[in-house]
Amino acid sequence: MQSFRTELENPVVEQDIINLEKKIRAFREGGIHEDKFKSLRLARGIYGQRQPGVQMVRIKLPFGKVTFKQFLRIADIADEYGSGNMHLTTRQDIQIHFVSLDRTPELWAKLAEDDITIREACGNTVRNVTASPTAGIDPDEPFDVSPYAHAAFAYFLRNPICQEMGRKFKIAFSSSEKDTAYSYVHDIGLIPKIDTVGNRGFKVAIGGGLGAQPMLAYPVHDFLPEDELIPFIENVIRVFDRYGERNNRNKARMKYLIQKLGLEEVIRLIAEEKKAIKNQYYPIDRETIALPTIPSASLIEEISDTDLQHYEHWLKTNVFEQKQKGYFGVYVKVLIGDIKTDIARQFIQLIKPLVADEIRVTQNQGLLLKFVPKANLPALFNALNSIGFAKIGFNTVADVTTCPGTDTCNLGISNSMTLAVVLEDLIYQEFPEFAFNNDINIKISGCMNSCGQHGLAEIGFHGSSLKANGKVVPAVQVMLGGGTVGDGLGRAAERVIKTPSKRATDVLRFLLNDYKANSTPNERFHNYYDRQGKDYFYQLLKPLADLSNLREDEFVDWGHEETFTTAIGVGECAGVMIDLVATLLFEAEEKLDWSKQALNNQSWADAIYHAYSTFISCAKAMLLDKGVNSSTQIGVIKDFDLHYVQSGEFTLPATFSDLVLEINKQEPSESFARIYIERAAQFLELTKSKRETVLQ
């Protein structure tokens, strides 16, 4: 299993950091085109901010796991390199903002000292592998999915099959049929199962996603044996890499590939890749994730009379008994996912004697503490309450999820962070009983891209704008009826109406008052929404969309003082297109070198895939010389045959398609790797020679 202990212990990490420093220097000196450099830094977790000259660094925490030491290390990094704030994300990462690009290699090196990476936290790669935060302690789980999530993270990190895909690729493991990791909106979603004879496996769905057009994942396996899990994921990624869209980034996700080719054809292509992968079976080491250090002594404290009711409510909404009897999991509600570093240090100091040394970041931007002895619960409550971390209502209506929105994101249209704070305060002040309702979730995104997961919320908002009186009004699109059904099934929220942002508070009031007045006893929100119908809610909220009676303050967004303007930058999360011929040929040479290195390391499958990428980069470069910009790798292969081989400009022993697509017709042996690499090298030389002729 790959380790990230320190740079000295892992030369791969050390080389990664050195390479990043070299790339930054080359970019500063004009040696790397901006688009190419953007792709390089994104794949290393470095994301451009709305504010010029600074970066957001995303720290990749597989399935949200972080130790006390790592948490403190990140706090130190946030102080030294960022703004003194740690932002918890909906994908169980931690982000640091306002970082200088030139300091990112040094930042990465310091993180690596404590087993933390930023590699492939952004960009067109396999993103952070997420899992239910309760994995390992969940009373409902058939087994702990943490080792499987870790295996997926380790296997695909730096894997040549997923370094330059058309878009990002997301994998989620839920701990039980309750599906608390939202498997149904992921490129691959997994739910643990045990068959009739006790074997472990997973229910598998593919092609889910949120974004501007939410799509629910398609079930493809009711039970995939555990040792076939990694090979299956590899097959899916290889198909996505070869057939996925690369020009129109709005269509460059797995869900659109299935929409384009059909599920049956995609499943056929997945099966076709099986022969070429390096492992037909991949046993999972179930002991990878060691049991955390559990507190050995109890700390008995009393709850003051003034805090007694608060404590009882906290027990009800934020605490549950683990499958390990006598121990409890405790959720910490973190307002808008932001933790100032001074509070982070106090937090660790306070909880250290009371809980196990393992924290999980949750999908709704909170934290989960584990293995709390029952006797320690009062002391833990007192400790958390002293720093404002004992707010009740975790994962209820009062726990609003939000992305950073216009605070830092280039794509943000309107403010989401301040709106989240305002809505939470409204719940506590006007609807305190809803702090116990975990049937409804409120989620907010600053734009339609759903980083705040509004598309899977019972009540969702995303940033937008309206025009009135010749001016632009900050607005929210109201989304209703989304959420988890269970066992891989979910619901995508429906767009109901758009209102000025400052009326989002009234939108929430209207909805909750109506739910209180018109729902039947114990009726779940999904049933209530379906019974009433979308038009009912449109009519209910329609008065709030009336722009004839706008107040002056409604032209100013939440958290701002100036009149609203739409100032959307160029987004980076969706991917980067690189179409420069010289850059592509340079990449081809680099990939051929990687191929030869992998061959020397006896990594036959990796060597073959790097050689395949060499073929693609060369062919794409030559096609661009003719003004042909193919949108998929399979399109590049076919177009090269059409424009070069059939015309006689390139003489090959067979068609280019036959030559390149040997990759999924041969097992990854040493003999095939050597032959395939030699052919890629010959093709590269032929391409360079042709290119020089064209230039002359």
Contacts for 469 with CB less than 8 Å, ≥ 6 apart: 550
Q: What is the pLDDT of residues 252-299, one digit of tens each?
A: 999 999 999 999 999 999 999 999 998 999 999 999 998 898 988 888
Q: Give the E-state strand segments of 457-580 in sequence order.
A: 459-468, 471-480, 483-486, 489-491, 494-500
pLDDT at 8 over 60: no
The pLDDT of residue 579 is: 38
Mean of all residue pLDDT scores within the chain = 92
Q: Quickly state the pLDDT bin for 6 (edges 50, 70, 90).
A: very low
Which residue from 448, 420, 455 is spatially nearest to 571, judged by alpha carbons? 448
The pLDDT of residue 449 is: 83
DSSP H/E element including 104:
helix 104-112
Q: What is the pLDDT of residues 10-38, one digit of tens each?
A: 778 888 898 889 889 988 888 887 777 88
DSSP string, 540-571: HHGGGG--TT--GGGGB-TT--SBP-------
Q: What is the pLDDT of residues 630-650, one digit of tens each?
A: 999 999 999 999 999 999 999
Q: What is the mean predicted confidence (pLDDT) over 371-391?
A: 97
Look at the block and give the residue holding tokens 């640091």. 96
Selected residue with higher pLDDT from 564 and 679 = 679
The pLDDT of residue 574 is: 40
Rounded to whole angstroms, the Cα distance separating 677 from 582 reads 21
Q: How far is CA 61 from CA 116, 132, 159, 237, 451, in A?
A: 7, 13, 18, 21, 17
Q: Quickly state the pLDDT bin for 212 (edges 50, 70, 90).
A: confident
Q: Give the E-state strand segments of 130-179 in sequence order.
A: 130-131, 171-173
Q: What is the mean predicted confidence (pLDDT) over 427-445?
A: 96
Rounded to whole angstroms, the Cα distance separating 204 from 206 reads 7
Q: What is the mean predicted confidence (pLDDT) over 557-573?
A: 64
Percent of all residues in the chain with a pLDDT value above 90, rounded to a whole number = 78
DSSP H/E element including 361:
strand 359-361
Exposed e or buried b per residue across 206-218, where buried means at least 16 C-beta atoms within 10 angstroms of its C-beta: bbbbbbebbbbbb
User: Looking at this protein, which amino acid is placed at residue 654?
Assistant: A
pLDDT at 415 over 90: no
Rounded to whole angstroms, the Cα distance separating 616 from 609 reads 11
Rounded to whole angstroms, the Cα distance separating 609 from 588 reads 12
Exposed e or buried b per residue across 254-279, where buried means at least 16 C-beta atoms within 10 angstroms of its C-beta: bbbbbeeeeeeebbebbeebeebbbe
All structural domains of the chain: 1-122 (3.90.480), 305-386 (3.90.480.10), 401-555 (3.30.413.10), 581-695 (1.20.120.330)
The pLDDT of residue 566 is: 60
Look at the block and give the residue holding tokens 């002293």. 386
DSSP H/E element including 218:
strand 218-225
User: Looking at this protein, which amino acid is placed at residue 659?
Assistant: L
The pLDDT of residue 545 is: 95
pLDDT at 578 over 60: no
The pLDDT of residue 34 is: 78
Q: What is the pLDDT of residues 329-368, one digit of tens each?
A: 999 999 999 999 999 999 999 999 999 999 999 999 999 9
Q: What is the pLDDT of residues 538-555, one digit of tens each?
A: 999 999 999 999 999 999
Three-state SS at 43: coil
> Of 12-16, 137-141, 371-375, 420-424, which range is least confident?
12-16
Which residue from 56, 78, 15, 171 is spatially nearest to 411, judged by alpha carbons? 56
The pLDDT of residue 497 is: 96
Q: What is the pLDDT of residues 214-254, one digit of tens each?
A: 999 999 999 999 999 999 999 999 999 999 999 888 899 99
The pLDDT of residue 550 is: 93
Contacts for 611 with CB less than 8 Å, ≥ 6 apart: 591, 592, 595, 673, 676, 677, 679, 680
The pLDDT of residue 27 is: 87
Rounded to whole angstroms, the Cα distance separating 238 from 393 reads 42
Look at the block and give the residue holding tokens 């309702």. 437
Contacts for 78 with CB less than 8 Å, ≥ 6 apart: 84, 85, 86, 96, 341
The pLDDT of residue 241 is: 97
Selected residue with higher pLDDT from 562 and 161 = 161
pLDDT at 411 over 70: yes
Q: Quickly state the pLDDT bin for 132 (edges 50, 70, 90).
A: very high
Contacts for 506 with CB less than 8 Å, ≥ 6 apart: 544
- Dihedral angle over CA of 479, 544, 440, 537, nearest 10: -70
The pLDDT of residue 571 is: 52
Q: What is the mean predicted confidence (pLDDT) over 586-608?
A: 94
User: Looking at this protein, which amino acid is placed at residue 26?
Assistant: A
Q: Quickly state the pLDDT bin for 567 (edges 50, 70, 90).
A: low
Look at the block and give the residue holding tokens 């499943």. 267
DSSP H/E element including 87:
strand 85-88
Look at the block and give the residue holding tokens 């393992």. 358
Selected residue with higher pLDDT from 573 and 370 = 370
Instruction: Note the pTM of the prediction, 2 decimals.
Output: 0.92
The pLDDT of residue 41 is: 87
Q: Quickly state the pLDDT bin for 577 (edges 50, 70, 90).
A: very low
